[in-house]
């Protein structure tokens, strides 16, 4: 009923001119980076992190809602899957999520949003310097 009396189509919206920076790599590199990060997370406390969250009172439902990694670890802790299955399925799920993100970025470009792609092969320092240069240029900073 509120919308009947308030026509938002006539509201003048501000022009938004965002600076969008994306990291670009080939599919193989992206997949390897994802799997290496997953391996690192599993070796450095991901399962313990979820156990501690559960011990502090966070429900499985909340954990599943808020994190892709958490969803699979909850299944592992419940005995529904073994460690190798956890690692395999979670790796696949993260790669699928990354693919959906790339689809989203392509749609943004199709809709006219300029994305400044920085090649991940140029290394962290060069990526950082390129990003700073883009920011300074966009916002006329020194």
Question: Where is pLDDT greater, at 11 or 73?
Answer: 73
Task: For 14-64, write each residue's pLDDT tens digit.
Answer: 788 899 999 999 999 999 999 999 999 999 999 999 999 999 999 999 999
pLDDT at 4 over 80: no
φ, ψ for residue 44, nearest 5 deg: -120, 35
Average pLDDT on 119-137 reads: 96
pLDDT at 142: 59
Task: For the chain, give the longest Cα–Cα distance.
Answer: 57
pLDDT at 106: 96
Average pLDDT on 58-74 reads: 96
Residues with Cβ < 8 Å from 87, sequence gap 6 or more? Answer: 38, 39, 42
Closest CA to 86 of 76, 74, 71, 100: 76
pLDDT at 7 over 90: no
Task: For 77-125, write each residue's pLDDT tens digit.
Answer: 999 999 999 999 999 999 999 999 999 999 999 999 999 999 999 999 9
pLDDT at 1 over 70: no
Average pLDDT on 131-142 reads: 88
Could you give the CA distance from residue 14 to residue 37 in angstroms, rounded to a whole number?
Answer: 39
pLDDT at 127 over 80: yes
Q: Which CATH class is domain 2-138?
A: mainly alpha
pLDDT at 112: 93
């Amino acid at each position: 009923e509120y919308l009947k009396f308030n026509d938002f189509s006539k509201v003048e919206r501000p022009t938004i001119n965002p600076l969008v920076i994306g990291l670009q790599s080939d599919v193989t590199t992206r997949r390897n980076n994802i799997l290496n990060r997953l391996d690192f997370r599993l070796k450095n406390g991901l399962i313990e992190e979820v156990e501690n969250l559960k011990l502090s009172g966070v429900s499985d439902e909340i954990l599943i809602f808020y994190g892709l990694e958490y969803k699979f670890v909850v299944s592992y802790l419940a005995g529904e899957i073994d460690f190798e299955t956890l690692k395999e399925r979670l790796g696949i799920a993260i790669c699928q999520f990354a693919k959906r993100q790339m689809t989203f970025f392509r749609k943004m470009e199709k809709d006219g949003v300029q994305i400044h792609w920085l090649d991940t092969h140029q290394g962290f320092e060069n990526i950082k310097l390129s990003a700073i240069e883009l920011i300074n240029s966009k916002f006329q900073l020194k």
